[in-house]
Homo-oligomer: A and B are copies of this chain.
Amino acid sequence: MATTVKEQELPAVPGDGIVMSSRVRLARNIKDKPFPGWLKKNQREELFSLLQPAIKSLPEMSRPSISSAMDSFSPLEKQMLVEQHLISREHAAKNSGSGLVVNAEKTLSVMINEEDHLRLQAILPGFQLENAWKAVDTADSELESSLNFAFSPSLGYLTACPTNVGTGMRASVMLHLPGLVLSEQINQVIKSVNQIGLAVRGLYGEGTEALGNLFQVSNQMTLGESERDILNRLLKVIHHLIDHEQNARQKLLQEKSRMVADQLGRSYGIMLHSYSISSKEALNLLSLLILGVDLGLWPNSLRTKIDDLFIHTQPAHLQKAAEKKLGAEERDAFRADLLRDKLKSIPAPNIKKLKIA
């Protein structure tokens, strides 16, 4: 598919505000070895012993932050890795014979013996899909010089699940779309993006139920198209979605500025004065704080602080901070205490900028 849209053509900041993170993963398998689901325990461990050193020999992995078999993690540590999007929930359930290697910056990670022998992933903050692709492509090429990947000249890379055969690539971005949600356009947008062969789903929940107004957009097809074509198609759609979101925000500011003020003010007021907040509610409240930064009601310097709270209010990260296991009710209390503490140094949103009647 031809495309004329390039990532660099759009200014970095608007895309960065709406694209929260960019991710590309490649599924790879070793030639003539059964897929992990068919490997016996000792075979899996044997393969793990072969793959782990190969991955650690990547230049990018010279000083890994993590390089372990899955049985070396506590349940809490596994859950934290899931919350950081470094492993899948399925991989968290694995033990010896499966493993994880992560680079120092936690931007490149490899799951060993998840569904496929290797799942290489690059994850970067903001709109950096091109950089994520380069990182994972480089690692893949380097690994290919030492490992013999299962590859068919007619199909491409072979994978445990047919939906990954071909490029084995899944490229995705996490988009923050409060404008489309507040203006009730999101379901229509999701529908039309799905129709052109890309998957859009709420990061937590579906459609308008999406928590934190966060949506993941990714390619569904891996077969019959080059990586470049898939990426270009995805980039084109992401740019359209960014435009849509910006238009929706503009329209809300023009026509429903008081509603926007109300939503932002309430989120701030609730976070500053609550004593119990569920993780679902926290995502929605934080989403509106991010929107407030995007709209200039808070200084841009708050952005990273709020971004961090998306992860640090998740159950495992909370328990890590509390240094103990917490039940659901205790987590909600601890989460509210954390948010009150973080919010107290943040002034009320500068609502005057919204010029409400």
Contact = CB atoms under 8 A, between A and B. Distances in A.
Interface of A: 258-259, 261-262, 265-266, 268-276, 333, 336, 348, 351, 356-357
Determine chain A's interface SS by DSSP, over half rule: helix
A22 B270 CA distance: 35
A31 to B, nearest CB: 58
Contact of A275 (B265, B270, B333): B265
Given A259-B275, A262-B274, A269-B269, 7 more contacts: A258-B275, A262-B276, A265-B274, A266-B273, A269-B274, A275-B356, A333-B357
Contacts of A258: 275-276, 333
A351 B262 CA distance: 25
Contacts of A271: 269
Nearest to A268: B273
Given A275-B351, A275-B356, A351-B275, A266 B270 contact: yes
Contact of A270 (B261, B270, B276): B270
Contacts of A357: 333
Nearest to A277: B262
Nearest to A329: B258
Q: Which of A271, A275, A351 has the most CB of B within 10 A?
A: A275
B273 A265 contact: yes
Contact of A266 (B259, B274, B356): B274
B262 A336 contact: yes
Contacts of A275: 258-259, 261-262, 265, 351, 356
Given A258-B333, A262-B336, A333-B258, A272 B269 contact: yes
26 contacts: A258-B275, A258-B276, A258-B333, A259-B275, A259-B276, A261-B275, A262-B274, A262-B275, A262-B336, A265-B273, A265-B274, A265-B275, A266-B269, A266-B270, A268-B273, A269-B269, A269-B270, A269-B271, A269-B272, A269-B273, A269-B274, A270-B270, A273-B348, A275-B351, A275-B356, A333-B357
